[in-house]
Amino acid sequence: MTTTSETSAGTPSKGGDRRLLGGLRDRWNGLPRAQQWLWLIPLVVLIYALPVLNPPLLTTEPGTNFPIALFDAARFALLAIGLNVVVGQAGLLDLGYVGFFAVGAYVAALLTSPDSMLTKIPYLWTLPIAMIVTMLAGLLLGGPTLRLRGDYLAIVTLGFGEIIRLLATIVGPLKGQVGFQGVGRPPGTSADGQPLFTTSNGTTWYWLVVTITIVILLLVGNLERSRVGRAWIAIREDEDAAQIMGVPTVRFKLWAFVIGAAIGGLSGALFAGQVGFVNNQKFDVPTSVLFLAAVVLGGSGNKVGVIVGAFLVSYIPNRFVELAGYKYLIFGVALIVLMAFRPQGLLGARQRLLAYGRQAYKRLVGKPEQLASDNPMTNERGGQA
């Protein structure tokens, strides 16, 4: 367990950070589950305390309100976890994820904003409804299109995202650029009678989203460790082989798509609630690529990685406001550089199962296994040779 850096074959093993990160991860994976939880608790407490602490170097003020920047990061993280199910786990490149995000936001707006003609309901109810509607949207898009692969799927999903945005622009009752004001918010007042959740106060929203994110993380984590997750990995690694081995690929791809969509919708509804205003401007293709950048940057297939990626993607423009205008340029270049030098992302994915298998192999044979293809982003033909 100590000299495990070779197990990360498939990438050139140069650079100390790789060794360090790999070692840390292996040590972490080696810990018993209870001990992992023990370590996680202070970390989670720290995460919750962040907006109150407002640490001097990390803070985004005076440029951006720090709790709101944190809310942004948290909602990006939630999105990235959802997109990671689709891109990282099942290996389906989805460029229209913003479409689901938009659908979620519009569900919240249509059902709570006074500008909408529909019956109003309490805000919290819109969260599950947004998830259900986006799941249906995911089925609607995924059902016919998931036979497509790679590039084609990417471009079709891109088209879907654009159709959603264009419909929001063209279809009268969706109010185009005018949008919906006064989207609802969760109930509750603080001791002095002020509402807890407001558009100007990010802290409570941040706590809400972090809580939801943790729940979603647990659910998705369980899913990944189940039969479904193994099927996803099989599909990601080699779809034809998976199908031949009896994995119903279409059904599991649809699963990934629908689950990813639901999380995207949830995130959209939360976003709509915090911002309090929804129009067609926030749901364009650049946003969708930003979501993808979050997943790919951190390391698609790795939950911790995508959270880190989401944090970077949302935090950098908020922290360095002078860079905000260049964020798409920066992340565009970052994607090119990343694919050329570190295609697996900053924290590459390592499937636990594969890792265990490798450990067993090493114990038995006494030397590390040579061939590894951890991730669709690493070399698919097995190494540099």
Partner 1 sequence: MTHLLAQGQVLAQGPDWISFDVASFVDQFWSNTFDGLTYGAIYALIAMGYTMVYGVLQLINFAHSEVFIVGAYALFFTLAALGFGPSAPNLNVFALIGDLVLAMLVAMLAAGAIAVLLERVAYRPLRRRKAPRLAFLITAIGASFAIQYAIFAWRGPNPEPALIMFRPQPMFDIFGTIIYDQQVVIFVAALVLMVIVDQFVNRTRLGRGLRAVAQDPDTATLMGVNRERVIVLTFLIGGFLAGAAALFYVMKVPSGVQYNGGFILGIKAFAAAVLGGIGNIRGALLGGLLLGVLGNYGQTLFGNAQWTDVVAFVVLVGILMVRPTGLLGESLGKARV
Binding residues vs partner 1 (CB under 8 A): 91, 93, 95, 103, 106-107, 110, 117-119, 133-134, 136-137, 140, 144-145, 147-148, 150-152, 154-156, 158-160, 162-164, 166-167, 169-174, 285-286, 289, 292, 296, 325-326, 328-329, 331-336, 338-340, 343, 376-381, 384
Beta carbon of residue 88, minimum distance to partner 1 (angstroms, whole number): 11
Question: Are the C-beta atoms of 101 and 266 separated by less than 8 Å?
Answer: no
Beta carbon of residue 323, minimum distance to partner 1 (angstroms, whole number): 11
Kindly list the distances between the CA atom of residue 258 and the CA atoms of 61, 82, 90, 116, in Å, as whole numbers in the listed order: 38, 10, 12, 27
Nearest CA among 359, 180, 206 for reference residue 270: 206
Question: Are the C-beta atoms of 79 and 263 separated by less than 8 Å?
Answer: yes
> Nearer Cβ to partner 1, position 51 or 273?
273
> Nearer Cβ to partner 1, position 11 or 359?
11
∠ CA 130-133-135, nearest 5°, is: 105
Beta carbon of residue 78, minimum distance to partner 1 (angstroms, whole number): 20
How far from the centroid of its chain's Cα atoms is residue 240's Cα?
26
Beta carbon of residue 145, minimum distance to partner 1 (angstroms, whole number): 7
> Nearer Cβ to partner 1, position 137 or 247?
137
Beta carbon of residue 352, minimum distance to partner 1 (angstroms, whole number): 22
The secondary structure of residue 25, as a DSSP letter, is H
> Nearer Cβ to partner 1, position 27 or 149?
149
> Nearer Cβ to partner 1, position 32 or 173?
173
**Cα–Cα dist 210/219, whole Å:** 14
| 278 φ/ψ angles, rounded to the nearest 5 degrees | -130, 125
**Cα–Cα dist 179/294, whole Å:** 27
> Nearer Cβ to partner 1, position 160 or 205?
160
Beta carbon of residue 99, minimum distance to partner 1 (angstroms, whole number): 9
